[in-house]
Structure 1
Amino acid sequence: MNEVLNILGSIPWWGWIIIFLILVAIKDIFFSKEHIIKHNFPVVGHLRYFLERIGPELRQYIVASDREELPFNRNERGWIYASAKNENNYEGFGTNEDIYRTNYIFINNSMLAYKLEKDHPNSEHPYFIACAKVMGSFNKRQRPYRPASIINVSAMSFGSLSAKAVESLNEGCLLANAYHNTGEGGLSPYHRKGADVAFHFGTGYFGVRGNDGNFSLEKLIKLVQENPQIRMIEVKLSQGAKPGKGGVLPASKITKEIAAIRHVPMGKDVLSPPTHSAFNNIPEMVDFIEEIAEATGLPVGIKSAVGQLKQWEELASIMKKTNRGPDFITVDGGEGGTGAAPPSFADHVSLPFINAFTDVYKVFQKEEITERIVFIASGKLGFPAKAAMAFAMGADSINVAREAMMSIGCIQAQSCHNNTCPTGITTHNKWLQAGINVKDKAERVNFYFAKFKKELLEMTHACGYEHPSQFTMDDVDINLSDKNITMTLASTFAYHKTSVPFTSVQEHMDCPHLGGTFSKGKEVKTKEAETEDTSVYDTN
């Protein structure tokens, strides 16, 4: 035994490396049945799988250009990160965008910008841009609601996001006077940090689910009564990432807390079916919406990706004839989606936002009922120019998901579905979550929203308007192909949006149904989120 130990002790460090590599080679050649590369190229074949695993990071930081990577390129992420950190988010030496590419948009500025007088509300509150419409006013809901911010956090559930991520977003929404959509995972303690809440549920009815797995109106009524911060209810029909498929929360991401909130068992994948059990057709869906609105007093709306238009036309016709139906409609673009989805769905099923929204808006405009509905736009719109385009098309506010995740530190690692998110945002691993400082991340959400609203408002004023709702389809041009190089949105999509009943920003601030901290008479003061305007300096 001593002789063996002496022999082993005499082996140099590089000798152990050689022995290790020989053992790996033997394993690869004789025991690797499922990987051809490892069998045919022992040892070095492992490099292929390692590079494949870190491929997104390699492309993100080394290979891809600033404007090349998807779903969000480096410049887009950089603008969000700089805004969220309250740093200089400007760029110098002109744009590096290909301004001649198809679908590139141009905002048509006015010769004379809108003049902001000293006594204007935005002089004192530069980050206040409320929704121009009141949810539930037409249908006379008991508790109508005007969102105090035109940018809000989209549906992302506790379960798909970690506890600290949800808490950071909610506290950030409180600072920014925005609302926070719960996603379909139910109302968690982390959604109860002060911000207005949009309670969202889908086909799994998590949070308002009976013992039989079906929708429970009694649970919803109780939830709304106990949580007055719930200001609107959203029924998810489908989402951009995987419309008509349903969702899966892997068993590995289900904790006891999540199981209790969702009313589901531990140790099993949680499945959301592709269809609702509470209704089977459009008339029944309208009845379902009205039943919820009557029982809770809140505005009720729907969220859906868009493809075929026949059922949208049926819904618009019913709403026209009966004066019943959703108070708001969230149109989700096919390019959106924070959750995991089969590539066939994520890449090909449902229309991208610009096509989806124009199709749906024209359906309701044909019935002359667009003024009854608050249109919420969703799908990579967390940038001021894209938001201006959405408002020109008829949107009344926008929801952001992945952009909000980036504001609290998401690095686009694209491992949301594996419970291995390196930033702790989409994992329930305690160690990975430990790096999230909730107070700091909440400030970053606030700064991102502040910078976004500041730039959007400046673009609005540059076009001669007081509020983004005043944008028209003639205010935005879009690059097409062939001979039609550039045309307005109105010419491209063949409609003009219905004029929004906007009066003034002051009227919005005086609205009794205004959400956010403004309605409570105790506005949270926003820390100055300005950067020095270096554009006036000549650096030549």
Structure 2
Amino acid sequence: MIEMFETATPVLEALSTLFVFAIGLFVLLIVIVFIFDISQRKNAVLRNYPVIGHFRGIFSSLGEFFRQYFFAMDREEMPFNRAEREWVHRAANNTDTTVAFGSSKNLTPVGTVIFANCPFPTLDEDATETRPIAIGEGFCQNPYTAKSLFNISGMSFGAISKPAVLALSNGARMAGCWYNTGEGGLSPYHLEGGGDIVFQIGTAKYGVRDLEGNLSDEKLIEIAEYEQVKMFEIKMSQGAKPGKGGILPGAKVTEQIAQIRGIDAGEDSISPNRHLDIASTDDLLNMINHVRKVTGKPTGFKSVIGATDWLDDFFKEINKRGEALAPDFITLDSGDGGTGAAPMPLLDNVGLTIKETLPLLVDKLEQYGLKNRIKVITSGKLITPSEVAWALCAGADFITSARGFMFSIGCIQALKCNKNTCPTGITTHNKRLQKGLDPDNKATKVANYVHNMNHAVEVIAHSCGVSEPRKLNRNHVRIVQNNGRSIPMNELYPSQHLGGTV
């Protein structure tokens, strides 16, 4: 026993010495921080409250975590609440999406959407499959017949990671939907998945630009030769930052991304706030027709609507030139959209939301007799079946989502998309963080999300008494008013054309 005590004594002494040394280092560190805090002149809190003032920053950064997991109710969070995210996660995992004991959604706020179920719903045996819609048929060499009403919106390789692109592109193939490349150009990972692709031409023309940054017909032809590339979309503006081009922080501009985009690695990728060669409605029509002529594929444009007068000028010009020269589609984004880095003033306060602009755009198309010629694609926080069904009622032909599909492959709304520190590996190029994202597993979840979304929208359509979702119209949805009562959408937005393409 004595020998054991004698043997342990040096170890205890060493541990004691180490403990005292650690305490000394800790005290020294506090002294250094104290001296630095009271000496600096940039931060008043730290100067007045040295050392303990640092806890303010720590608690502020932890606030997002505690609000998300402990304090926020299911329907409180922004930009997407827990109930919405959970529905997407369950749909992506192909698990039970039913809930019990009543709705947790408050159905009385102004603007709430309520679908008008009919007394005699459509029986399953009377239901019909959602019909594919041809885009550009009769107006370009290679029209595109799109099968799915729900598709993947623009997310650039660069803004999101290699495994995320692989998951989305493979999932698109499995689900039979399209995947929009975003403005970052066409990567090998978009092609590897084998799904249909919509190539987006951003204001910097990444992937189809010459050395001076101008649109290159040679590169357009090169992209169009890929059979998977079905359409071209000219991006005028996007929901995250209307009136400003794309922003990719330099930390996310790897050598490969720089090569695809035609820029320098490690430097911020800042696109112009508009196309330098599009300064009028005439220029826009000219660009659309040039791209369609060069590629032979359906071509349209994407925009957030704020000012509306230009739409009349645009549609009048189309009718003057002839509908053959019209865009094959218009992608309408919402002023509250966006997955990447964006200035808060633009994100919060610029651009009208889809709830206002979608009915307006559809009515304008109907007014000028162009609704059947120009297909309407819409995006912007439409990640659940009720939102997708509302868009169909308002007159959309297709719905796309970016953040919904991010949730489907594991996004936890950490709000780190612009930091290259995404904990789920979706929006980071950090190899260690990307390891957690298995493209094969996530591709299946993408496909599940699409299939379950389409099925759930069909359920809403059948409850309203129609045989398939695209037969939904404005008679089928009511909007709650400030007096607490709801009125049919067709009374708010009267139009001869009440719904999408039928």
TM bucket normalised to smaller? over 0.9
1:466 & 1:12 partners in 2: Cα distance?
76
Aligned-residue identity in percent: 37
Aligned residue for 2:410?
409
Aligned pair 1:481/2:472, yes or no?
no
Mapped to 2, the partners of 1:366 and 1:140 lie a distance apart of 21
Q: Which residue of 1 aligns with 2:363?
A: 362
Query: How does 1:29-44 map onto structure 2 within 5 Å?
Result: 29-30=38-39, 32-44=40-52
Could you report, residue by residue, the CA deviation over 1:141-172 in whole angstroms, capped at 9, with x for unpaired residues? 11111211110000010010011111111111
Supply the distance in 1 between the matched residues of 2:122 and 2:367 (Cα, whole angstroms): 32
1:17 aligned partner: 26
Alpha-carbon distance in structure 2 between the residues aligned to 1:176 and 1:412: 24
The residue that corresponds to 2:4 in the other structure is: none
Provide, for residues 351-372 of structure 1, a one-character-per-residue CA deviation record: whole Å limited to 9, x for no partner.
0111011222222111121111
Deviation at 1:19, TM superposition (A): 3.7
Kindly provide the amino acid, as one letter, of the partner of residue 91 in structure 2: S
The equivalent residue for 2:104 is 96
CA contact (8 A) 1:393 1:497 kept: no
What TM-score does the superposition give when structure 1 sets the normalisation length? 0.87
CA separation of 1:461 and 1:9: change in aligned 2, threshold 3 A: closer
Alignment match, 1:393: 394
Q: 1:165-184 alignment to 2 at 5 Å?
A: 165-184=164-183
Q: RMSD over aligned Cα, in angstroms?
A: 1.9
Task: Describe the SS at the equivalent of 1:34.
Answer: coil
| 2:76 equivalent in structure 1 | 68
1:456 matched residue in structure 2: 457
After superposition, give the CA deviation of every residue in 1:232-286 in whole Å (9 maximum; x if it has no partner): 1100010111111112211111111001100111232112101212332111211
Count the aligned residue pairs. 486
In structure 1, what is the Cα distance between the partners aligned to 2:490 and 2:303?
A: 24
Aligned to 1:195: 195
Q: What 5-or-longer segments of structure 1 have no aligned partner? A: 123-128, 503-540
Query: Secondary structure at the residue paired with 1:308?
Result: coil
Q: Find the counterpart in structure 1 of residue 206 from structure 2.
A: 206
Instruction: Write the distance in 1 (CA, Å) between the matches of 2:384 and 2:431.
Output: 32
Q: Which stretch shifts more, 261-270 or 344-353?
A: 261-270
Matches for 1:438-449 after TM superposition, within 5 Å: 438-449=439-450
Q: Aligned to 1:29, what secondary structure does the other structure show?
A: helix
- Deviation of 1:346 after TM superposition, in Å, equals 0.8
Say whether residues 1:279 and 2:278 are aligned partners. Answer: yes
Whether contact under 8 Å (1:199, 1:233) holds in the other structure is yes
Structure 1 residue identity aligned to 2:308: L
Q: Which moved more, 1:206-215 or 1:357-366?
A: 357-366
Query: What corresponds to 1:87 in structure 2?
Result: 95
Q: Distance in 1 between matches of 2:16 and 2:84?
A: 59
Partner of 1:299: 298
Amino acid at match of 1:109: N
Amino acid at match of 2:327: P
Contact 2:252 2:266 in 1 (8 A): no
Answering whether residue 273 of structure 2 is matched by residue 269 of structure 1, we say: no
- The 3-state SS of whatever aligns with 1:351 is coil
Indicate yes or no: 2:140 matched with 1:141. Answer: yes
Query: Structure 1 residue 10: deviation in Å?
Result: 7.5
User: 1:57 — aligned with what?
Assistant: 65
Deviation at 1:12, TM superposition (A): 6.1
- Cα separation, partners in 2 of 1:115 and 1:143, compared to 1, 3 Å: same
Once the 2 structures are TM-superposed, how far is the Cα of residue 221 of structure 1 from its aligned partner? 0.8
Equivalent-residue separation in structure 2 for 1:343 and 1:277 (angstroms): 24
- For 2:229 and 2:33, how far apart are their aligned partners in 1? 58
User: Deviations for 1:341-392, whole angstroms, at most 9, x for unmatched residues?
Assistant: 1111111111011101122222211112111111111111121111111101
The 5 Å alignment of 1:203-282 reads 203-225=203-225, 227-282=226-281
